[in-house]
Amino acid sequence: MAAQGNDAPLVEVRHLKEYFPINTGFFKTTPLKAVDDVSFAIRRGETLGLVGESGCGKTTVGRTILHLYEPTDGVVVYDGKAVVGPKEKVDIDKFATPADGGSLTGNTLSLNEYRTKTTMVFQDPYSSLNPRMTVSDIIAEPLDVHKLCASAKEREERVLELMNRVGLNSEHASRYAHEFSGGQRQRIGIARSLAVNPEFIVCDEPVSALDVSIQAQVINMFDELQEEMGLTYLFIAHDLLVVRHISDRIAVMYLGKMVELADAAEIYDRPLHPYSKSLLSAVPIPDPKIARANKRIPLQGDIPSPLNAPSGCPFRTRCQYATEACAATMPEFKEVEKGHFVACHRTAEVNS
């Protein structure tokens, strides 16, 4: 689906950093740079796909955007307003642009308000639902937390409406999560995330745990909900065919850094970063003739530990084009063509 509406971003992430302290010795902690200086914007009504290997920080990006983790540094600007948690100490003015009038202070959004506009769908439909709660209580929990329903009757009606919307039967309301299959559980999770009438949903691997036939049902439902409710998605997944299907634009992450961002078709047809090239060539295509002819660009070794990330470009240790410059400095994440961002010193040479 094409991005609708104007080009003004709904969610803007500026220089987001998320470091986790790891105990590496007696009284000694080392920061694990799960997300290291990531910036991007998501337009209203679009789906941004976020891909990368496990451990690259894609889930952390999703969670930090929603302030489920307090950002170490950087700011999330939602609909022109900086999101600030009650105890956060990040100097948000540092990230203000001329478009914000040079300052973000006084133009902020409280976390409570932010969370009535943004929600999350989790990966694992088995562990993300409380086994002691009935389906109706699970779905109504956001309504209770934000006090969005005046009466018990309104609450019940809302729950049934949500269940109906995601294709669950109303008689399921009083059952418990264990009585449902994976696909149905994921529907419950989606209903819960829709309860506050959000504008923006972070979908963290929402179909990875589902069977192929069920996966298609859930993907279609995401599509339909977006059309009906004008939702904006950040769609995190490692299945590149699924991401390609659902996304308008796709971002590729490697070891806490964003390495490429472009239109979905563009990044599939003409990836510019050597990592994206390799990643995309490794996707098994469900067509024997294409699969047999497919030339994979091999990638040696494993992803390095983020505790001990290489200097400069994080990908250089596995990159066949790496030079000394790559070890010295981290390449800038810049727009090389309209709408196509790449972080690579050697974009020109790699693609000549």
Encoding tokens for residue 199? Answer: 């504008």
Q: What is the residue whose two structure tokens read 């950093």?
A: 17
The binder of another protein chosen from 194, 203, 264, 313 (CB under 8 A): 264
Specify the amino acid at residue 73.
D
Give the Cα separation of 163 and 169 in Å (integer): 7
Element (H, E) at 348: helix 347-350
Scanning 102-110, 168-176, 177-185, 326-334 for contacts with another protein by CB under 8 A, the matching segment is 177-185
Site string for another protein, 35-74 (x = CB under 8 A): ------------------xx--------------------
Specify the amino acid at residue 130.
N
Work out how close the CB of 135 gets to another protein at its nearest, in angstroms, rounded to a whole number: 16
- Contact between 245 and another protein by CB under 8 A: the answer reads yes
Task: Let me know: does 108 contact 75? Beta carbons within 8 Å.
Answer: no
Work out how close the CB of 55 gets to another protein at its nearest, in angstroms, rounded to a whole number: 9
Site string for another protein, 266-295 (x = CB under 8 A): --x---------xx-xxxxxxxxxxxx-x-
Give the Cα separation of 276 and 254 in Å (integer): 9
Encoding tokens for residue 111? Answer: 């976390």
In the range 110-129, which residues lie near another protein by CB under 8 A? none
Specify the amino acid at residue 264.
A
The binder of another protein chosen from 63, 155, 244, 249 (CB under 8 A): 244
- Contact between 22 and another protein by CB under 8 A: the answer reads no
81-84 and 118-121: which strand pairing?
A: unpaired
- Contact between 135 and another protein by CB under 8 A: the answer reads no
Specify the amino acid at residue 86.
P
Helices marked H in 8-79 — which ranges? 58-65
How many CA atoms are closer than 13 Å to the CA of 264, on its beta-carbon side?
20
Site string for another protein, 224-243 (x = CB under 8 A): --------------x-xxx-
Work out how close the CB of 130 gets to another protein at its nearest, in angstroms, rounded to a whole number: 22
Residue numbers at the binding site for another protein (CB under 8 A): 1, 53-54, 181, 183-184, 211-217, 219-220, 223, 238, 240-242, 244-246, 264-265, 268, 278-279, 281-292, 294, 296, 298-299, 302-303
